[in-house]
Amino acid sequence: MAISPADCDLAVLGAGPAGLAAAVAAANAGVRVSLVDAGPRVGGQFWRHRDGDGGAGHHDWRTLVRLRSGLSRVDLRTDHPVWHVERTDAGFTVHTGRGAFTCRAVVVATGAYDRQLPFPGWTLPGVYTAGGAQALLKGQGVRAGKRVVVGGTGPFLLPVAAGLGAAVVAVAEAGSPAGFTRSPLAVAANAGKLAEGAGYLKTLLRHRIPYRTRTAVIAAHGTDRVEGVTLASLDREWRVVPGSSRELECDAVAVGYGFTPQLEIPLQLGCATTLGADGGLVAVADDQQRASAPGVYLAGEVCGVGGAALSVVEGELAGRHAALTLVGAVPNSVVVARLLRRRKSLRAFASAMHAAHPVRPGWRTWVDDTTQVCRCEEVSAGTVRAAVRELGATDARTVKLLARPGMGLCQGRVCGYATACLVGAEYGREPTASDLAGVASRPIAQPVTLGDLARD
Amino acid sequence: MSGRVKFSFRGKDIVAEAGQSVGAALIAAGHRSWRTTRHEGAPRGIFCGIGVCFDCLVVVNGEPGRRACLTEVRPGDVVEPQEGAGHGDLAC
Query: What are A306-323's pLDDT values in tens digits?
Result: 999 999 999 999 999 999
Q: Is this complex's ipTM strictly greater than 0.90? A: yes
pLDDT tier, A195 (very low <50, low <70, confident <90, very high otherwise): confident
% of residues, chain B, pLDDT over 70: 91
Query: Does A40 touch chain B if contact means CB atoms closer than 8 Å?
Result: yes
Mean predicted confidence (pLDDT) in B29-52: 96
Query: Does B74 touch chain A if contact means CB atoms closer than 8 Å?
Result: no
In order, the DSSP letters of A268-331 are HTT--EEE-TTSSEEE---TT-B-SSTTEEE-GGGG----HHHHHHHHHHHHHHHHHHHH--PP
% of residues, chain A, pLDDT over 90: 83
Q: Which of B21, B43, B52 sits opposite A413 (nearest CB)?
A: B52
Query: Does A376 touch chain B if contact means CB atoms closer than 8 Å?
Result: yes
Quick: pLDDT tens for A89-147. Answer: 999 999 999 999 999 999 999 999 999 999 999 999 999 999 999 999 999 999 999 99
Q: Is pLDDT of A406 > 60? A: yes
Name the closest residue on chain A to residue B28, using Cα atoms: A142
Mean predicted confidence (pLDDT) in A430-450: 87
Q: Is pLDDT of B89 > 60? A: no
Query: Which residues of chain A make contact with B27, given a CB cutoff of 8 A?
Result: 136, 142, 144
In this predicted structure, what is the pLDDT of residue A178? 67
Mean predicted confidence (pLDDT) in A228-248: 97
Name the closest residue on chain A to residue B44, using Cα atoms: A125
In this predicted structure, what is the pLDDT of residue A50? 82
In this predicted structure, what is the pLDDT of residue A2? 46
User: What is the helix (H) or strand (E) element at residue A247, kind and residue range?
Assistant: strand A246-249
Mean predicted confidence (pLDDT) in A149-158: 95
Q: Which residues make Cβ contacts (< 8 Å) with residue A441, sequence separation at least 6?
A: A264, A267
Mean predicted confidence (pLDDT) in B33-54: 96
Dihedral of the alpha carbons of B59, A147, B42, B22, in degrees to the nearest 10: 10
pLDDT tier, A199 (very low <50, low <70, confident <90, very high otherwise): confident
Beta pairing class for B35-36 and B43-44: antiparallel
Residue B81: phi and psi, rounded to 5, are -65, 160
Q: Average pLDDT over chain B, rounded to whole? A: 92
pLDDT tier, A349 (very low <50, low <70, confident <90, very high otherwise): very high
In this predicted structure, what is the pLDDT of residue B90? 53
Q: Are B53 and A413 in contact (CB under 8 A)?
A: yes
Q: Environment class of residue B18 by beta-carbon count within 10 Å: exposed (0-12), middle (13-18) or buried (19+)?
A: middle
Q: Is pLDDT of B81 > 60? A: yes
In this predicted structure, what is the pLDDT of residue A180? 57
Query: Does B33 touch chain A if contact means CB atoms closer than 8 Å?
Result: yes
Query: Does A121 touch chain B if contact means CB atoms closer than 8 Å?
Result: no
CB contacts < 8 A (A, B): 101
Mean predicted confidence (pLDDT) in A288-314: 97
pLDDT tier, A432 (very low <50, low <70, confident <90, very high otherwise): very high
In this predicted structure, what is the pLDDT of residue B91? 44
In this predicted structure, what is the pLDDT of residue A179? 57
pTM of the model as a whole: 0.94
C-alpha span between B9 and A440 (Å, rounded): 36
Smallest Cα distance from B77 to chain A, Å: 18
> Residue A228 in 3-state DSSP?
strand
Query: Does B56 touch chain A if contact means CB atoms closer than 8 Å?
Result: no
Q: Average pLDDT over chain A, rounded to whole? A: 93
Lowest mean pLDDT among A14-23, A193-202, A244-253, B51-60: A193-202
Mean predicted confidence (pLDDT) in A76-93: 96
Query: Does B47 touch chain A if contact means CB atoms closer than 8 Å?
Result: yes
Query: Which residues of chain B make contact with A135, given a CB cutoff of 8 A?
Result: 49-50, 69
Cβ pair B52:A375 closer than 8 A: no
In this predicted structure, what is the pLDDT of residue A185? 66
pLDDT tier, A426 (very low <50, low <70, confident <90, very high otherwise): very high
A 324-363 residues with CB below 8 A of B? none
